[in-house]
């Protein structure tokens, strides 16, 4: 074969081999082409690229899978009357896991109840109480309160008795004589004078138990101190 025929045969053979490269991965080494290695790992990102704020393998947490917020939550119950008891509130807010110690009555300076501050164990209990009040169609209203409103209230726990109608001329000794025969803490007796809206004098006294407070109420209510009739009320 002539030199021209040998050259044509070599060119034809080289073209045929290069055409078959996509179908045969073993030939690049024979043709002197660079070898590309395959790996299941992703290529390293450029050095100047910023990492993602969230790991790629982290999955977002659905809201319903998150733990509910825990901790004490306070609410103020409005619309109560002088005759609304703490037991009434605890029984009404069924399902909120309340006890009598979780309710404090907010009295004004004349000891008229303005509302009740309720301590809930969680936001879930607070929301449940709001739904209960709405469902029962009561005239009560539940508002958000803070911890200071709870701390500033004195718990009477049905052991403190209010004496109203004390004569202006009555001294502490006169009140003590009125309470003779009752078991009470004499150091807790407080005489309070108010000049607005009209001059009035009343007293508060604490008893060792709710039973003793109720016994004093039954025995002494509407009794007389000097020439004035005393009206008694057990504070919650």
- Assign 3-class secondary structure to 102-115: HEEEEECCCCCEEE
Q: What percent of the chain has pLDDT over 70?
A: 69
CATH number of 70-151: 3.30.70.330
- The pTM score is 0.66
C-beta separation of 181 from 225 below 8 A: no
User: What pLDDT does 197 receive?
Assistant: 76
User: What pLDDT does 1 receive?
Assistant: 54
Residue range 192-196: mean pLDDT, rounded = 86
- Stated as kind and residue range, the H or E segment containing 1 is none
pLDDT in tens, 123-161: 999 999 999 998 876 689 999 999 999 999 999 999 999
Burial of 74 (0-12, 13-18, 19+ CB in 10 A): buried
Cα separation of 100 and 82, whole Å? 17
Same-fold call for 70-151 versus 160-235? yes
Q: What are phi and psi of 170, to 5 degrees?
A: -75, 140
The CATH topology of domain 160-235 is Alpha-Beta Plaits (3.30.70)
User: What pLDDT does 5 receive?
Assistant: 54
Of 136, 142, 137, nearest to 119 by C-alpha is 142
CB atoms within 10 A of CB 207: 23
Of 224, 218, 216, 115, nearest to 161 by C-alpha is 216
Around 32, how many Cα atoms within 13 Å sit in the side-chain half-sphere?
Answer: 1
Average pLDDT, the chain: 79
Largest CA distance in the chain: 151
Of 136, 148, 147, 143, nearest to 115 by C-alpha is 143
User: What pLDDT does 139 receive?
Assistant: 81
Of 144, 159, 185, 161, nearest to 101 by C-alpha is 159
pLDDT in tens, 21-33: 444 444 444 344 4
The ranges assigned to domains in the chain are: 70-151, 160-235
pLDDT in tens, 44-64: 544 544 444 444 443 443 443
pLDDT in tens, 116-128: 999 999 999 999 9
């Amino acid at each position: 074969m002539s030199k021209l025929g040998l050259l044509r045969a070599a060119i034809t053979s080289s073209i045929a081999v290069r055409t078959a490269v996509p179908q045969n991965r073993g030939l690049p080494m024979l043709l002197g082409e660079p070898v590309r290695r395959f790996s299941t790992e992703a290529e390293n990102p450029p050095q100047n690229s910023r990492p993602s704020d969230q790991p790629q393998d982290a999955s977002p947490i659905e809201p319903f899978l998150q733990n509910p917020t825990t901790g004490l939550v306070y609410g103020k119950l409005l619309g109560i009357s002088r005759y609304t008891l703490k037991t009434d509130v605890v029984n009404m807010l069924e399902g909120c896991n309340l006890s009598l110690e979780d309710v404090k009555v907010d009295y004004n300076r004349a000891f008229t109840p303005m509302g009740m501050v309720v301590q809930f164990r969680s936001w879930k209990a607070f929301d449940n109480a709001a739904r209960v009040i709405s469902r029962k169609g009561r005239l009560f209203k539940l508002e958000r309160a803070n911890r200071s409103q709870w701390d500033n209230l004195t718990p009477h726990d049905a052991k403190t008795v209010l004496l109203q109608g004390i004569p202006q001329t009555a001294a502490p000794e006169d009140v003590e004589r009125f309470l003779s025969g009752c078991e009470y803490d004499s150091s807790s007796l407080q005489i309070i004078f108010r000049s607005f809206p009209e001059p009035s004098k009343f007293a508060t006294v604490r008893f060792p138990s709710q039973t003793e407070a109720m016994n004093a109420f039954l025995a002494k209510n509407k009794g007389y101190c000097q020439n004035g009739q005393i009206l008694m009320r057990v504070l919650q």
